[in-house]
């Protein structure tokens, strides 16, 4: 009886020890907060998938994902200490950096731009020069920078008039095009363009102008941190593990868009998203992704050239220094 009791106590002790190890591991997980540029949707599927599938946990990370929205400016959030990493577009990040917030791009999951101007075919707009005298819907909050640079390249004023364009400050919807308040509106290839079609205007009644095809595409949805984060080797290691897990999440999402869509819907507190729409969005985003998350410096330089090439409404006034780094993606190779 005594031996049996000892064995039982030993088993209990072993179990308790194992549980303490598990608890210790959980407590030891490195916390990291990610601020998204917009609300929970397929645009950020890689991060939600990485969290849901345990990819962050496998890297010893406890990641909090904070949705964005119309009243959320990621650069302000990170500057105020509300996030460790933010998702932003390079034009916005560069403009923010020039204003004194030292944002640095550490990874670039999106290698292509999804930005477009979408016009109704019955406006008879067939080329960018036809924009003169028209009303164009433009997103602001940092999203206007690529558009302003494009108009500057075309030498089209943005103050209206016969030779200029009327800029309509567009909400994050497609109503101005549906209601004919604007001749063209801003859309993403994976989101608002499909909203227009879902609203009853077929693709053959639309004319699209992708920024990529116009030679004014700028990098979107990169990952940014403050310069001081890169001065700490432990933080660089944490960020390398974060990017590696995130890219694993993006790869999984692109290969499994329906499941990724389901994960998005599960994490959407608004209840506004549907699996069907999110699956379609993620499938379209898969066409824009990079496999490694490594920033293409040539693409970054093209973004800078585009922004500096304008003659009015300058997004940035000088070529930036230290605005991106391979320090984190290089560290991924050493993990």
Most confident of 14-23, 133-142, 322-331: 322-331
Nearest to 174 by CA among 165, 155, 187, 161: 187
Go through the domains of the chain in sequence order and give each one's CATH number: 30-112+219-332 (3.40.190.10), 115-210 (3.40.190.10)
Give the model confidence (pLDDT) of 162-215 as tens digits. 899 999 999 989 999 999 999 999 999 999 999 999 999 999 999 999 999 998
Give the model confidence (pLDDT) of 215-248 as tens digits. 889 999 999 999 999 999 999 999 999 999 999 9
Instruction: Give the per-residue pLDDT at 27.
Output: 55
- Does position 295 have pLDDT exceeding 60, yes or no? yes
- Does position 290 have pLDDT exceeding 50, yes or no? yes
Residues in Cβ contact with 223 at an 8 Å cutoff, skipping those fewer than 6 apart: 85, 86, 87, 105, 106, 107, 108, 109, 243, 246, 293
As a whole number, mean pLDDT of residues 124-131 equals 97
pTM for this one?
A: 0.86
Give the model confidence (pLDDT) of 12-33 as tens digits. 444 444 444 444 444 589 999 9
Of the two residues 6 and 48, the one the predictor is more confident about is: 48
- Does position 252 have pLDDT exceeding 90, yes or no? yes
Averaged pLDDT score across all residues of the chain: 90
Burial group, residue 313, by CB count within 10 angstroms (0-12, 13-18, 19+): middle
Length in residues, the chain: 335
Q: Alpha-carbon dihedral of residues 253, 258, 263, 267, nearest 10 degrees?
A: 110
CA atoms within 13 A on the CB side of 332: 18
């Amino acid at each position: 009886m005594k031996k049996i009791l000892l064995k039982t106590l030993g088993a209990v002790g072993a179990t308790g020890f194992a549980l303490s190890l598990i608890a210790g591991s959980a407590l030891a997980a490195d916390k990291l907060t990610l601020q998204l540029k917009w609300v929970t949707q397929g645009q950020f599927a890689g991060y939600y998938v990485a969290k849901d599938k345990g990819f962050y946990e496998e890297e010893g990370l406890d990641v909090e994902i904070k949705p964005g929205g119309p009243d959320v400016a990621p650069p302000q959030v990170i500057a105020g200490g509300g996030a460790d990493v933010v998702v932003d577009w390079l034009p916005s990040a560069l403009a923010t950096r020039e204003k004194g917030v030292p944002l640095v791009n550490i990874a670039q999951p999106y290698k292509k731009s999804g930005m477009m101007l979408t016009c109704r075919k019955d406006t008879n707009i067939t080329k960018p020069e036809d924009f003169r005298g028209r009303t164009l819907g433009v997103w602001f909050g940092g999203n206007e920078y690529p558009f302003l640079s494009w108009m500057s390249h075309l030498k089209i004023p943005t103050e209206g008039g016969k030779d200029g364009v009327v800029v309509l400050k567009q909400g994050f919807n497609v109503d101005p095009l549906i209601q004919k308040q604007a001749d063209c509106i801003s859309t993403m290839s994976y989101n608002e363009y499909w909203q227009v079609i879902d609203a009853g205007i077929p693709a053959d009644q639309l004319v699209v102008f992708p920024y990529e095809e116009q030679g004014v595409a700028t990098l979107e949805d990169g990952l940014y941190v403050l310069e001081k984060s890169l001065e700490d080797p432990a933080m660089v290691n944490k960020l390398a593990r974060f990017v590696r897990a995130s890219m694993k999440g993006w790869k999984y999402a692109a290969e499994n868009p329906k499941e990724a869509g389901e994960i998005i819907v599960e994490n959407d507190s608004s209840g506004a998203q549907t699996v069907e729409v999110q699956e379609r969005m993620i499938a379209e985003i898969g066409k824009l992704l990079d496999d490694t998350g490594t920033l293409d410096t040539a693409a970054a330089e093209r973004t800078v050239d585009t922004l500096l090439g304008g003659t009015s409404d300058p997004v940035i006034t000088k070529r930036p220094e230290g605005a991106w780094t391979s320090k984190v993606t290089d560290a991924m190779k050493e993990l």
